[in-house]
Amino acid sequence: KAGVTQTPRYLIKTRGQQVTLSCSPISGHRSVSWYQQTPGQGLQFLFEYFSETQRNKGNFPGRFSGRQFSNSRSEMNVSTLELGDSALYLCASSLWGIDYEQYFGPGTRLTVT
Amino acid sequence: QKEVEQNSGPLSVPEGAIASLNCTYSDRGSQSFFWYRQYSGKSPELIMSIYSNGDKEDGRFTAQLNKASQYVSLLIRDSQPSDSATYLCAVNGDKIIFGKGTRLHILP
């Protein structure tokens, strides 16, 4: 089975811009979760989508949003980028959700200048 | 503020020895627990999940869970240089929280 894929792998944006990241889960997985990883804060949960519905949400501002399509592919959007948004953004897929095993994609490295 | 604590390390272990990684958590309602391995520059890779008190073994890895004491540990037997990585503990209660990881260094 193919693993989780994320596009793009690297991205450079300017403060104030917006960005959209994409994630394709493992075939058959209905849950997609998004995480932000930084050296200072570690790996932090952004939100989880299951069957096109947001099921869980972490403690991030509303500038961070997401959606999931009927084929389980998911996108994450960050609006009005700030320097502090520079991070590795990871998505993870699971058959049943974050209560169960999750498999991470390779991540998107976002740099905000 | 619910927390997951791990010793940041580095933890240095001779090749062939047992590496013991520990994780404590604050949310008594947590129900699912995971260990991930992350090599430098790579994404986390699932090693094991554990849901009930006791030990769970998978090859060279054993996860141990004690909900009363609120800790979960990972033992790696016959440690290999390829086990050198950062190990992340994840705990899921009403939110999933990752520890900041323990860097493990296996000495050849």
pLDDT of A26-37, one tens digit each?
A: 999 999 999 999
- The predicted pLDDT at position B93 comes to 87
- The predicted pLDDT at position B94 comes to 80
Could you give the CA distance from residue A42 to residue A24 in angstroms, rounded to a whole number? 23
- Among B44, B99, B101, beta carbon nearest to A104: B44
Q: How confident is the model at residue A64 (pLDDT cuts 50, 70, 90)?
A: very high
Residues in chain B: 108
What is the distance in angstroms between the Cα of B83 and the nearest Cα belonging to chain A? 19
Residues of A in contact with B100 (CB under 8 A): 42
pLDDT beyond 90 at A41 = yes
- Do A4 and A25 touch, CB atoms closer than 8 A? yes
Cβ atoms within 10 Å, residue A73: 14
For chain A, the straight-line distance linking the first and the last C-alpha, in angstroms and rounded, comes to 37
Q: Distances in Å between the alpha carbon of B92 and those of A12, A83, B4, B33, B104? A: 32, 29, 10, 6, 23
Nearest to A58 by CA among B48, B36, B97, B54: B97
pLDDT beyond 80 at A1 = no
Judged by CB atoms closer than 8 Å, whether chains meet at B32 and A90 is answered as no
